[in-house]
Amino acid sequence: MKKSSILWMSLLAFMLISNASFAQRILTGKVSDGFNPIAGVSVLVSGTQTGTSTDAAGNFALTTNQENGQLEIKFLGYLTQLVKFSKNNDLGTIVLAPSKEQSLDEIVVVGRGVIDIAEGRMTPIAVSTIHQAAIEEKVGSLDITSTLANTPSVYITGQAKGFGESSMNTRGFDQSNTAFLLNGQPINGMDNGRVYWSNWSGLSDIASVIQIQRGLGSSKLAISSVGGTTNFVTKSTDMKKGGFLKHTVGNDMFVKSTLGYNTGLMKNGFAVSAMFTHWQGDGYMNATAGAGQNYFLSVGYKVNDKHNLNLMVTGAPQWHEQGGTATLQTYLDKGRKYNRNIETINGVEMNPRKNYYHKPVANFNWDWEISDRSSLSTVIYASMARGGGQSRRNDNSTAKVPYLAADVNNHQWYGIVSNYNRKLNDNLTFNVGFDLRDYKGEHYRQVTDLLGANSIVHTGNVNYSGPLTTSNSYSTNPWKTFTDKPKNAEDRLAWDYDQIVRYAGLFGQIEYAKDGFTAFFQGSLSEQQNIREDYFLYKLGEGRSEKVNNFGYNTKGGVSYTLGQHSLFGNAGYYSRQPYQNNIFMNYRNDVNEYAENEKILGLELGYKFASEYIDVNVNAYRTTWENRVTGSSRNANAADVTKYNPTGNPDILQEGDFLYFSNYGVKQDHKGVELDFTARPFTGLEVKGFGSIGDWRYKGNATTIVRNEDRVELATENKDVNNGKVGDAAQTSYGVGAKYSIIRNLSIDADFRSYDRLYSSLQAGEGKVLQLPSYQLFDVGTSYKIVLSPTNTLSFRVNVNNLFDKFYISEATTNTFADGAKNLWNGINTANTVLIGMGRTWNGSIKFTF
């Protein structure tokens, strides 16, 4: 009996041990792209909630109680791999292939209904997406706009003028007419639509993805997306514990250090991500030094399965000296790093041109999953900016005492965007939302350096009977701008006024999709109110303008059909867009501009997409017409300008090197073109990308131009016949190709080639005449290497060389001085033209340690 009991107990124990061993089965493996291990890959047992992720070496270990089944191997930018398992516990190395369409679902974890990424709409659009890895590799010491240089119909220029001085044109439209969004928050200036990249230098550190939607785009807001819409999606709160330390060095003494850390999801349901950066450098052009910091804080809290909250605060306080344009002959004589802004004041050589700014931005995202068919996303945002642009001035006394002063542009901006999404049935989706904004800008001039004088004399304020004496000066340290500012009118020079803009918009979209066919329709209505209050040119209490209300709207619609690997689509849209406040009030007074009507924009586009395992191809054709356009531009005055606009030679009116401001009214533009881009993956480890675009961008009819100096004094009114004149400032033909190849595990090289042609001056000479600049080509190279130190620690290296062959080229021109038998020519161009020379060979290298 005892032996029998012992036998049965032994058998039972054996079964339990066997079952326990089966229940504790551990599957192991490694995930790679063919050369390099991939960290953070999701590994999930199909049909269960059992899962894990790979470590820094690409390894994973997963416990399961299934005898047979399959694993789902998922990672952003790669095809999902299904791996069957049965008897073997070690699955070996699993190689992921790059996906034909990079899903952004894992990036946009907050504000899904507000952030208008292309995947938010099934109907295709003309789009290019740059992910965090490419941003981190390519930016180095450049502005974040450089990451978009290898996309169709995009032209980047101005970086040689100094840190943050770049500008971006899309399909021939400048950046004041391209919409820029940060996590669903508009960041174009409310007064003039402009974006100053020095204020956004921190984006290169905190962006998870950049997506440029050329043309109509997918944005539901009534925004200025004439050329396109660029979405910056920042890093959300990282739920995985860890951090990194990165150090970058580059040409002209550039140094940048960044520290970031994530707490991971804590027991109380919170998670915090923080990052801080310091950078400084001498600048490429002479006397264009700069320095600044970037800070980022994101706090996430998952209340429950229905509610997700995230608060983000970021800012990039900075200062930098500014470069400018000069005649081509000057650059040929003195070198491409010549800076015409350098001058000798009181016996001291200096660059008085300086920009300083601090623009903290905060936004709070709330995502509410109401049901499996409906959701609500809301972002509340605020920004309070302080800073300005410094230059040398002379006071109004007979001694003409020199001093430095800044034209201050402060603002406070609050807004809310909310979007409700409802899935009506399996084929029909509907959303509706609203957009509210309130903006107040302060504008005045203040002394920043008396240059040794005890005080300076200024005039012009009608509230004072005689000249005013100012002995106070104010700091250009961006960290002090919120507290160190004039508290009395006597210290506000030249002008002193506020701009108030209030905006309310309602938008909606409905989309249908079934059996490869999709159709959508979007619409928005908006009301914008503009008020100007002047404390300088009007008696106190009398300087508030009338309220100017403008109603606007837009409609967009499109259809597409997908059959297998092929997709065809067509989109059309019409905008009635309110003019910016800077164009509503004439001559910087409260007089309402009779030319400032709503601008009329019509957009049409057709597209074709082909996607396969080995190659993706996109072809787009577009046409955009723009009527009642009011444009503005500025440039440094040359000797001919002084003769033309200041015939009396009065130095207080205009001197060579001073800025001239041009306001153009009644302009009509007609832009059309064709774009191509492709990504090829011929074999594991090699990726080839290419792009090309051919545009025909022309002005139509006549234009009226008002010319002003830096004190906003009107110098001339000019009427020009610009019919069929080429639109300048961006190459109308561009193409390029780039490749990235993994030589061995963790070691890769990459190279990019770009060519630009049919680039014209930004100034119309009349009768459609415009100067065409020589074409040019650029070649960039880079290499990356990573060392895996442990499952949680890696050491990464990156080196970039831009303009490898040190090409000398003109990136922009602001005059139309034709050859006409001139003796001094360069590549057929009269060297008397005022131009900007692009940067020569530059480099940067970085090292990053993750922990």
Q: What is the pLDDT of residue 284?
A: 96
Same fold, 22-95 and 118-234: no
The string of pLDDT tens digits covering residues 581-618 is 988 887 788 988 877 889 899 999 999 999 887 899 99
In single-letter form, the type of residue at position 16 comes to L
Please check the confidence at residue 442 and state whether its pLDDT lies above 60: yes
Q: What is the DSSP letter of 328?
A: H
Q: What is the pLDDT of residue 175?
A: 86
Please check the confidence at residue 554 and state whether its pLDDT lies above 80: yes
Q: What is the pLDDT of residue 9?
A: 52
Please check the confidence at residue 2 and state whether its pLDDT lies above 70: no
Asked if 130 and 209 count as a contact pair (C-beta separation under 8 A), the reply is: yes
pLDDT grade, residue 51 (50/70/90)? confident
Quick one: average pLDDT of 283-312? 92
Complete DSSP assignment for 356-381: EEE--EEEEEEEE--SSSEEEEEEEE
Q: Cα–Cα distance between 7 and 564 in angstroms, integer?
A: 63
Q: Cα–Cα distance between 309 and 378 in angstroms, integer?
A: 10
- Strand boundaries in 227-306, DSSP class E: 228-234, 242-250, 254-262, 270-281, 290-302
Please check the confidence at residue 418 and state whether its pLDDT lies above 60: yes
Q: Cα–Cα distance between 669 and 385 in angstroms, integer?
A: 33
Q: Cα–Cα distance between 277 and 247 in angstroms, integer?
A: 10
Q: Which two tokens stand for residue 750?
A: 């990459």
The more confidently predicted of residues 567 and 15 is 567
Q: What is the pLDDT of residue 177?
A: 83
Q: What is the pLDDT of residue 636?
A: 82
Cα separations in angstroms, 92 against 23, 30, 59, 79, 124 = 21, 6, 10, 18, 38
Q: Cα–Cα distance between 676 and 620 in angstroms, integer?
A: 7
Q: Look-up: residue for tokens 């506000």? A: 492
For the domain made up of 22-95, the CATH class stated in words is mainly beta
The string of pLDDT tens digits covering residues 488-518 is 888 999 999 999 999 999 999 999 988 889 9
333-366 CB burial, b ≥16 within 10 A, e <16:
eeebbbbbbbeeeeeeebbbbbbbbbbbbbbbbb
Q: What is the pLDDT of residue 433?
A: 93
pLDDT grade, residue 100 (50/70/90)? very low
pLDDT grade, residue 706 (50/70/90)? confident
The more confidently predicted of residues 705 and 469 is 469
Nearest to 836 by CA among 594, 634, 682: 634
Q: What is the pLDDT of residue 15?
A: 47
Q: What percent of the chain has pLDDT over 70?
A: 92
Nearest to 772 by CA among 784, 763, 780: 763
pLDDT grade, residue 14 (50/70/90)? very low
pLDDT grade, residue 102 (50/70/90)? very low
Q: What is the pLDDT of residue 409?
A: 95
Q: What is the pLDDT of residue 72?
A: 85
Highest mean pLDDT: which range of 181-190, 218-227, 233-242, 521-530: 521-530
Model's pTM, two decimal places? 0.83
Cα separations in angstroms, 524 against 372, 437, 521 = 26, 15, 11
Q: Cα–Cα distance between 458 and 114 in angstroms, integer?
A: 48
Alpha helices in 182-327 (DSSP H): 203-206
Identify the bridge partners of residue 387 per DSSP, sorted by sequence position: 357
The more confidently predicted of residues 140 and 666 is 140
Q: What is the pLDDT of residue 745?
A: 81
Q: What is the pLDDT of residue 239?
A: 60
Q: What is the pLDDT of residue 487?
A: 85
Highest mean pLDDT: which range of 36-50, 330-344, 708-722: 330-344
Complete DSSP assignment for 671-684: EEEEEEEEEE--ST
Q: How far is CA 445 from the centre of its chain?
A: 29
Asked if 52 and 43 count as a contact pair (C-beta separation under 8 A), the reply is: yes
Please check the confidence at residue 619 and state whether its pLDDT lies above 90: yes
The string of pLDDT tens digits covering residues 196-226 is 898 888 888 888 888 888 987 767 676 657 8
Sheet architecture: strand order including 81-85 = 51-53, 42-45, 69-74, 81-85
Calculate the average pLDDT of the chain.
88
Q: Cα–Cα distance between 670 and 656 in angstroms, integer?
A: 34
Quick one: average pLDDT of 537-542? 94
Q: What percent of the chain has pLDDT over 90?
A: 56
For the domain made up of 118-234, the CATH class stated in words is mainly beta
Please check the confidence at residue 115 and state whether its pLDDT lies above 80: no
pLDDT grade, residue 149 (50/70/90)? very high
Q: What is the pLDDT of residue 109?
A: 52
Domain residue ranges of the chain, discontinuous segments joined by +: 22-95, 118-234, 242-850
Nearest to 240 by CA among 273, 214, 203, 268: 273
Complete DSSP assignment for 122-169: SS---EEEEEHHHHHHHHTTS-GGGGGTTSTTEEEE-GGGSTT--EEE
Q: What is the pLDDT of residue 836?
A: 96
Q: What is the pLDDT of residue 596?
A: 80
pLDDT grade, residue 541 (50/70/90)? very high
Q: Cα–Cα distance between 166 and 169 in angstroms, integer?
A: 10
Domain at 242-850: CATH architecture: Beta Barrel (2.40)
Q: What is the pLDDT of residue 783?
A: 96
Please check the confidence at residue 318 and state whether its pLDDT lies above 70: yes
